[in-house]
Amino acid sequence: MFGGAPARLPEGFVPSETTIFCESYPAVNPETGEVIYRLTAPGAQDVTISQGLRDGSGDKLYHLQKVEGANGVWEVKTDPLVVGFHYYSFRVDGNVVSDQKTGAYFGSNAMQSGIEVPESKEEGAYHHFNKDVPHGQVRRCQYWSEINGGIERICNVYTPAEYETNPEKRYPVLLLMHGWGEDENGWMIQGRTANIMDNLIAAGKAVPMIIVMDCGDMKANSYVGRGVGGGMMNMGPGGVTDIFVKELIPFIDKTFRTIPDRDHRAMAGLSRGGGQTWSTVTANLDKFGWLGSFSGLFGMNGAVESAYNGALKTAKEDPSKKLHAIFISHGEAENADGPRNIANQMKEYGLPVTFYMSPGTAHEWLTWRRSLREFAPLLFKGI
């Protein structure tokens, strides 16, 4: 047998969903949102952790205390934390240290620890595995990119449960982008895309579709050890927009049973990925018919009709390039007034805009899981 028996936890606490097998900490109280963190650091003098509070007052710095008689184990119990998935690291005498008792997740351009502070069972059912519904698959695919300097790139591709049993059927495609500091695994792991889509499709709320989760950055060239391209958005000529349109979409259409036209192709993204979505879709209205922006960057200056070099005016007036739906979402705690105002401007201009505000959440994965839950049912219907 590998590992020891899990430690007995205080009443009301259970291991977090992110806690690794045979470990008990970090432990969370699902009712209160409190978390108990533990770290073994026998020679340390000071151990801290920073976490966001449920009351909306921001992050709080906690100092862990040594557990008496526990051979260098440090512990702290937090105040109630914000629900959802959150990255974290310890600071041990000023040095950043990951928690080896949780999974590692790529965020803010580093591998970090993560914790899930749960919603109620009913509220969180949409993004959890349901044994009673059919399940799709997520495939890890490689494709070659000359634009990225002549290297392989990796994307994750979700196919719905019926994809394997309905070999003659073709499917619409959603290109789904992560935010800054994350990668092609963000939506699959932190975002729980497969669970969300399995549940929506089984309930008849969303049509079966293929979802492509690619990297929003120019990958480092593994042969010469340098980055290719640059800039936060990587959107210029030779950037990720060119990769998406000229290399990724053809690869997906060749590899999977897609319906390869704009009416059956959508793009959405969170945060920076939202900005990349706006730039990519508005510059390629012949390739995309649906747009989703979750806590996204907009890049709008002035009137709607002049935004993106007049692309939204074209989307309104040219039947061959119209957008069937524009979805804009934001978390209530990240100041939703700006995005709501932009959505209203677009709606008044005559564009098919839906605005969604995630109750109580900030710039975090729970906002974006909820956004996907609300956006996916809009797609590929009525065409």
Residue 379 burial (CB < 10 Å; 0-12/13-18/19+)?
A: buried
- At 136, is the secondary structure helix, strand, or coil? coil
d(CA 198, CA 158): 10
Is residue 6 one of the residues assigned to a domain? no
User: Which pTM value belongs to this model?
Assistant: 0.92
Is residue 101 one of the residues assigned to a domain? yes
What is the separation, in whole angstroms, between the first and last Cα of the chain?
56
DSSP letter at 180? T
The domain spanning residue 88 has which CATH number?
2.60.40.10
DSSP string of 23-78, one letter each residue: ---SEE-TTT--EEEEEE-TT-S-EEEEEEBTTSS-EEEEE-EEPTTSSSEEEEEP
d(CA 66, CA 195): 39
d(CA 158, CA 349): 35
Is residue 383 one of the residues assigned to a domain? no
Q: For residue 211, is pLDDT > 90?
A: yes
**pLDDT for the residue numbered 49:** 95
- Positive or negative, the CA dihedral 204, 209, 213, 216 is negative
Residues 380/173, Cβ–Cβ less than 8 Å? no
Residue 62 burial (CB < 10 Å; 0-12/13-18/19+)?
A: middle
Nearest to 288 by CA among 254, 248, 255: 248
What percent of the chain clears pLDDT 90, i.e. is strictly above it? 80
Is residue 5 one of the residues assigned to a domain? no
Question: Tokens 């073994």 correspond to what residue?
Answer: 40
Same structural domain, 290 and 270: yes
What average pLDDT does this structure show over 322-339? Answer: 92
What domain range includes position 257? Answer: 125-378
Q: For residue 230, is pLDDT > 80?
A: no
Same structural domain, 99 and 133: no
What average pLDDT does this structure show over 195-220? Answer: 95
Domain boundary among 75, 100, 117: 117
d(CA 353, CA 351): 6
What percent of the chain clears pLDDT 70, i.e. is strictly above it? 92
- The more confident residue out of 13 and 333 is 13
Is residue 4 one of the residues assigned to a domain? no
d(CA 380, CA 324): 8
Domain count, the chain: 2
Domain boundary among 68, 101, 117: 117
Same structural domain, 88 and 224: no
Same structural domain, 268 and 373: yes
d(CA 282, CA 323): 10
The tens digit of pLDDT for each residue in 36-84 reads 999 999 999 999 999 876 666 668 899 999 999 888 999 999 999 988 9
**pLDDT for the residue numbered 215:** 95
Share the mean pLDDT of the chain: 91
Lowest mean pLDDT among 20-24, 174-178, 212-216: 20-24
Q: In the structure, what pLDDT confidence band is assigned to residue 297 with cuts at 50, 70 and 90?
A: confident
Same structural domain, 74 and 169: no
Same structural domain, 224 and 326: yes
Q: For residue 295, is pLDDT > 90?
A: yes
The amino acid at residue 373 is R
Same structural domain, 172 and 96: no
Q: For residue 118, is pLDDT > 60?
A: yes
